[in-house]
Structure 1
Amino acid sequence: MAALLFASRLPDSAFEIVLVASNKTDAAGLMLASGEGIGTFAHSHTGMERAEHDALMEKAVLDAGAEYIILAGYMRILSPEFTKRWHGKMLNIHPSLLPKYRGLETHKRAIEAGDSVSGASVHLVSSELDAGEVLGQIEVKIGAGDTPETLAERVKLAEHQLYPRVVNDYVGRIFDADWLLGQVRTLVMDLPETEERPSHGAPGWRTAGKSGKYFAYFSDQHHGVEHIALLAKTSGQDEMMALIDRDPGTFFKPAFYGASGWIGIILNRAGCDWDQVEHWLKRSWQAVAPKRLTKLLDAADEF
């Protein structure tokens, strides 16, 4: 937790710590956080049902305005309902090279197995213990005379380097053009008979074939605009301007394309609604795709 706290103070940090919470009221991290001016919350789980305690902790997290939960030495198994609500937004660090040695006594098990390396893994939290997607790992060599205690000390040092780096990369990906392009590309390629073809140096997507038409572009701060955005077709200028007036934090009029009624959908922002992005991709595709591909979708929309 201390490594994360001080890493958050670096100039290039993509995250800020707004709360340190614990189920142990005497946890040392609470005193450190308080001394650094960070809000704290503590409530013992003794005598409480698991879901009840999880709800108390979650309320404190939400009241603090947190968008992610980063577990650091929180030795409690969370309820499936809790982990489901925070799917993709709760990270944990584990002292082994997952999927090896989930659970406890990881260093003892690695030494007894004769492994030459141990290490640590940062992973997304899922309802299955230490089984979520691994986001990053670091190796630590196991020496001939290592005990679980000596190995644990070195793995802890490695954890302090790994965890802030992975958290920073994961939280900051929403501002990373390559990651955003990958998200858009995945959504686009689920649409029938589409192909990617650059246009004026930017990724673009069109319906396949010689008569294919463009229905989406990816704009990475082009023409001096600060946004990384998806450009999609609207029904015309009136709808485009109505969208911008209603939600200027999401939509903007793109240079050149805006004159033809295309809308810019800002991607590099907290809370980007990917269901909304998918909706505009599908709608824009429907506007130019051949009728043989759209007739069933058109009929469903009318119904």
Structure 2
Amino acid sequence: MKKAKVAVLISGAGTNMAALLYAAKAADCRYELVLVASNDPEAPGLEIARAEGVATWARSHKGMNRDAFDALVDEQLRAAGAEYVALAGYMRILSDDFVARWEGRMLNIHPSLLPLYKGLNTHAQAIENGDEFGGCSVHVVTPELDDGPVLAQTPVAIVPGDTADSLAARVRFAEHQLYPRALAAFVARERSPDYLRARVREIAMAMPEADEVTSHGMPCFGIIKGKKFAYFTEDHHGDGKIALLVKISGADEQAGLIEMDSERYYRPAYFGDGWIGIRLDLGDTDWDAIGEWIRKSWLAIAPKKLAGLMAVADDF
């Protein structure tokens, strides 16, 4: 089982980072930590990571503007081979550019039942408002603070006499249980045939006059009563790959793509030089690029009149 590579950003004690790290020690965990990074070189969590053999990086953000510091962090994440980022008590507001670079691949854990109580002082607010439950949420990071899609939550009962500190201590136990499970489920879906098939289907069926049939035992997308422009393949002829097959210009383009990235691109069996296989099960699929591949493949087989109408619509 290939594990997803995760970098964790911390600013302090790193207890949630430690929970992610120890969960990753299980043989069947779907991720591994490749870097723990911090904006505070004195963050205690860094020492935990080092002791456990995880690479670390730290630099103070003081004296640097936000964009410059975030660009430096991004450089370290990519150098470590990270495919995903988990924020674990990272007390910095991220730049929009940084969030965009990791769109759909960065998670955060927040100590409330979102959308309640975004920002700070979540436990005090829950107690003051007479809530029955506090809790924690794991969500996808977006430019708006604590506003991304919620993936998982754990409610924690507020008991008589609770203070913000006592509630926070129990919520922290819940966080340590929730975050590893939510992260593992999130990275696993990027390699799940059902998830990948649904993403391909959504993009392909958005093309004009597209339909779906089964061909060669695979979901196949074409223009109604016309040629095919995309296939979704799962272990086709026992090759062990989950991939998208699309039309290309011919042997030269096929060879060039395979030479550029032989792990991602391959010559699909029985399809010839006019097709390329694009792996979707590597955990780092660029869905904007996949959309463009499907669009170009559709254009390659679309009748001129239909392709012309699409070009007009794009210009408009």
TM-score (structure 1 length as normaliser): 0.85
2:267 is matched with 253
Is this contact kept in 1: 2:153–2:178, CA < 8 A? yes
Q: Indicate the SS of the match to 1:284.
A: helix
Asked if 1:98 corresponds to 2:111, the answer is no
Is 1:188 the counterpart of 2:204? The answer is: yes
Aligned to 1:177: 193
Deviation at 1:48, TM superposition (A): 4.6
2:244 maps to 1:230: yes
For the aligned residue pairs, the C-alpha RMSD in angstroms reads 2.8
Residue 243 and residue 131 in structure 1: after superposition, are their counterparts in 2 closer, same or farther (change >3 A)? closer
Tell me which of 83, 107, 113 is aligned to 2:129. Answer: 113
1:154 has 2:170 as partner? yes
Deviations 1:170-211 (A, max 9, x none): 233332111211221121122101122233543221222xx2
The match for 1:29 among 45, 48, 51 is 45
Structure 1 residues 131 and 242, CA, compared in 2 at 3 Å: closer, same or farther? closer
Q: Helix, strand or coil for the counterpart of 2:232?
A: strand
2:14 maps to none
Partner of 2:219: 203
The equivalent of 1:82 in structure 2 is 98
Give me the whole-angstrom Cα distance separating, in 2, the residues matched to 1:14 and 1:266.
Answer: 19
Larger % of strand: which?
2
Q: Is the 8 A contact 2:205 2:221 kept in 1?
A: no
Amino acid at match of 1:215: F
Which one-letter code corresponds to 2:230 in the other structure? A
SS in 2 for 1:197: strand
Letter in 2 for 1:229: A
CA distance in 2, matches of 1:247, 1:43: 33
Is the counterpart of residue 67 in structure 1 residue 80 in structure 2? no
Is residue 277 from structure 1 mapped to residue 293 from structure 2 by the alignment?
A: no
Q: 2:299 maps to what in 1?
A: 286
User: Paired residue for 2:235, among 209, 216, 221?
Assistant: 221
2:277 maps to amino acid? G
Per-residue deviation, 1:44: 3.1
How far apart in 2 are the matches of 1:179 and 1:140?
Answer: 31
Bigger mean CA offset, 47-56 vs 138-147? 47-56
In our comparison, the structure showing a higher alpha carbon Rg is 1
Q: Return the letter of the residue paired with 2:94.
A: L
Render the CA deviation track for 1:89-124: whole Å, top value 9, x for unaligned: 322110011111001111121122222222211122
Task: Give deviations 1:192-250, integer Å, cap 9, x for gaps.
Answer: 01122233543221222xx2433222111122011101122345566555654554323
* Contact 2:254/2:273 (<8 A) preserved: no
In structure 2, the residue matched to 1:266 is: 279
Q: Secondary structure at the match of 2:137?
A: strand
Name the stretch that deviates more: 243-252 or 157-166.
243-252
The one-letter amino acid paired with 1:122 is V
Letter matched to residue 83 of structure 1: V
Q: Is the 8 A contact 2:187 2:283 kept in 1?
A: no
What percentage of residue pairs aligned between the two structures are identical?
Answer: 52
Match of 1:39 in 2: 55
SS of equivalent to 2:31: coil
Report the CA distance shift for 1:7/1:263 in structure 2 as closer, same or farther (over 3 A).
same
Classify 1:219/1:142 alpha carbon distance in 2 versus 1 (closer, same or farther; 3 Å). Answer: same
How many correspondences in the alignment? Answer: 298
Instruction: Give, as a single letter, the amino acid of the residue that structure 1 aligns with 2:171.
Output: V
Q: Which runs of 5+ in 2 are unaligned?
A: 1-16
Contact 2:83 2:284 (C-alpha < 8 Å) held by counterparts = no
Q: 2:238 is aligned with what amino acid?
A: G
C-alpha distance in structure 1 between counterparts of 2:293 and 2:29, whole Å: 32
SS in 1 for 2:60: coil
CA distance 1:162–1:203, shift in 2 (3 Å): same
